[in-house]
Amino acid sequence: MEEKMFTPGGMERLQATSDRENIPYPRGDGKVKLVNSEWLDRHRNDANLTVVDVQPNIHDYIQEHIPGAVYLTEGVLRVSNRGFPGSYSPNACIQESFRRAGIDADSPVVVYTGKGAFSGAGDGLGQTMMAYTLAKYGHNTVYILDGGIDAWKSEGRELSQDYPAVEPSSFIAEVRDDYPIGYEEFVRIKDNDNVVVLDARPAKVYEGKGPWRKAGHIPGTVNLPWKSLMHEANPARLKSNDELDTILEEHGVDRSKAVICSCGTGREATNEFVLLKWLYLYPNVRIYEGSFTEWVTYPNNPVVEGPKPRGASVEAAPAR
């Protein structure tokens, strides 16, 4: 009976309820979930829980962090590769970084970021970037702190300047290749009728004011700025599910289609990949890690300027 109550997604969508108080959210066995400050405060001393601070600057961590949190900069996740500036670090480097932070693939880890009390440089994306990378390289239970350390502070919870004693783990990097989509496959399927490609960059960049050698966006990509999904006062906190539903429907992000998340370098896209794959339980979501930076390295690849994917309006489609 309940199966018939829903448009595509059926019983799976029962897990992606609008009740985010049911923490960790959503129910099920997804690799990445959302938790709040109250939950973390109750569990931060659990013996098997690792809390990872990915604030934008080491001085932010030094000045204040959640008690027991270990600092791990997202800067270790990507390095230049034969000149291309945004490639993921070699598996061995990522593996060693996770080991030094005491991260175990089968023990829960909470990641959070913030605006940065010292640097003021935080944009909120550090926690989705780290969460995606943890899951991609083999972690099984990643929690994102909704609102990050700024939500934690706003509730008057304890802060620390102590550095925890961390025993290195034996984390083994095992890449889940079904998350990213490579350039050749992207080119082959991006224009199919059953595919929607999102561009998570700000509208002005999508329309043609970015730093790339070519201005604009990949033809056919739909502009869904990642910040439109987040609270204006706290870019690490998602809007309510009712608000998210409306935004996704307005942009034609239909769960019956394959969704490819892209942006400029693959970082902003992690926000939408996490939301759609793990929080909204969309059945077919990929992330184009090379994104616009890779696209424009091919001189013959076309780009489009302006607000529309190809000069046509995007029709609304049910998000849930």
Annotated catalytic residues are: 263
Give the residue from 203, 178, 210, 218 showing the smallest Cα distance to 298: 218
Minimal CA–CA distance to 140: which of 95, 96, 105, 97?
105
